[in-house]
Amino acid sequence: MKITDIKTFPLHAGERNYLFVKVETDEGLYGMGEFGITWKEQAGVGAIQHMKAHLLGQDPMNIEFLWQLMFRGDFFPGGRIGAAAISAIDIALWDIKGKALAQPVHMLLGGRLRDRVACYTGIGGQTPEDSALSAKDRVAAGWQYLRLSVPDRDGILDARTAVRDSVEHFAAVREAVGPEVEICIDAHTRLDPPDAIRLGRLLETYDPFFIEDPLRCENPQSYRQVRQHVASPLAVGEHYATKWEFRQMVEEELLDYARIDLCIVGGLTEARKIANWCETHYIKIVPHNPLGPVSAAACLQLDLATDNFAVQEGGRIGSSFLADVFPVQIPYEAGHVLPPEGPGLGIEFDEDAAAKFEFKWLNGPQLRRSDGSFTNW
Ligand SMILES: [Mg+2]
């Protein structure tokens, strides 16, 4: 089998853009991948174009060889854009391999060790009462894991205020759902160490499942400070590309849950290596999944075959999102995703339907302080 074409589909749907990638072969099998860096989709299209020159005519079954070819093939490292482009192609190669062998991808990763995968869903409201109501609705619909975000106020983020607001929302949700529903909170890298520590200590009494991304990602050793003072589990890693960016966090045990993004980190190939490495430090994975149906399907395949898996970010599962473009998606049932029927990733793609969703040039939101200066998104 040989790779004959690699097509990119940047498109807009709902409130954001997506970049899907289709790898085609001379045997008529195709694989789907997804690029994970939102607001940089056209950079992804360009990076994939550069990689395509290396890949045409290659055997798509030789995934590790092709991964190394993409990662090392040109002198200058591609950084996170390059890793996200590799991710999209790598996931598509696993999809092809599964189809060629008539097996779902998780069977190629060692086999199925759970029969369903628990997911968390985002909740939140303008007030603590709204957040509590939202949480109760989700629990009634079958979700056992919920995630709040550290709130801003109309695009203004004052860290001291945000920590106080977070504690009020968290307390209201805990009161509403009781002790057995797991609640997480995501700071979206908006805090500095002193406020991250303050948030962690104030939340301890409410038993968070994890506190996610309290700090920006440039300086991993800043997590040492937070770690010293906060007993609650930390979840980190959705920005990281390749094993090299996870290295210090894992080796120094600065995180409890690795938020691997399969569409940024280097695909299923790299995510599998990082998950196994985490296992040697008793760190569990919670794959990041804010994207579309390909990301969700790839995460599910990894989760089914990984022992040190905790919970999956639900993202857009359980809805009819992009149902025309992906007429077959992974099965969902009451807060869980289930093993799909088909081989490969278990999804199907309609190229003509994708063409109807035009790409839009968008920039991400910006958060400011009340004086107009920047805070972290
Ligand atoms: Mg996050």
Q: Where are the domains of the chain?
A: 3-103, 107-341
Q: Give the Cβ contact number of residue 137 at 10 Å.
A: 11
Q: Which amino acid, residue 131?
A: S
Mean pLDDT estimate for the chain: 96
> Does residue 28 come out as left (phi exceeding 0), alpha (psi in the -120 to 50 range) or beta?
left
The secondary structure of 252-303 as a DSSP string is TT--SEE---HHHHTHHHHHHHHHHHHHTTTPEE-----S-HHHHHHHHHHH
What separation in Å is there between the alpha carbon of 107 and the centre of ligand 1?
29
Q: Which two tokens stand for residue 62?
A: 């030789």
In angstroms and rounded to an integer, the radius of gyration of the C-alpha atoms of the chain is 20
Find the catalytic residue in 106, 169, 239, 288: 288
Tokens of 47: 């990076």
Condensed to tens digits (0 to 9), the pLDDT of residues 12-51 reads 999 899 999 999 999 999 999 999 999 999 999 999 999 9
Q: What is the pTM of this model?
A: 0.97
pLDDT on residue 358: 96
Give Cα 47 distance to the centre of its chain. Answer: 20
Please state the CATH superfamily assignment of the domain spanning residues 107-341 in this structure.
Enolase-like C-terminal domain (3.20.20.120)
pLDDT in tens, 221-275: 999 999 999 999 999 999 999 999 999 999 999 999 999 999 999 999 999 999 9
Residue 120: per-residue pLDDT: 98
pLDDT tens track for 188-215: 999 999 999 999 999 999 999 999 999 9
What pLDDT band is residue 319 in, cutting at 50, 70 and 90? confident
12 catalytic? Reply is no
pLDDT tens profile 147-193:
999 999 988 889 999 999 999 999 999 999 999 999 999 999 999 99
Range 3-103 classified under CATH 3.30.390.10: yes
pLDDT (mean) for 73-84: 93
User: Structure tokens of 52?
Assistant: 């395509």
pLDDT score for 357: 97
For residue 188, how far is its CA from the centre of ligand 1 (angstroms)? 5
Nearest CA to 144 out of 340, 311, 331 is that of 311
Q: Which of 12, 50, 54, 188 is catalytic?
A: 188
CA of 370 to the centre of ligand 1 (A): 24
291 Cα: distance to centroid of ligand 1 (angstroms): 12
Q: Which protein residues have a CB closer than 5 Å to ligand 1 (ion)?
A: 186
User: How many A from CA of 364 to the centre of ligand 1?
Assistant: 15
Using alpha carbons, select from 267, 354, 338 the residue that is nearest to residue 304.
Answer: 338
Residue 282 burial class via C-beta count within 10 angstroms: exposed 0-12, middle 13-18, buried 19 and up: exposed
- CA 209 – ligand 1 centroid, Å: 14
Contact indicator for 45, 6 with CB cutoff of 8 Å: no
Task: Give the residue among 134, 156, 165 at the shortest CA–CA distance from 147.
Answer: 134
Q: Is 229 a catalytic residue?
A: no
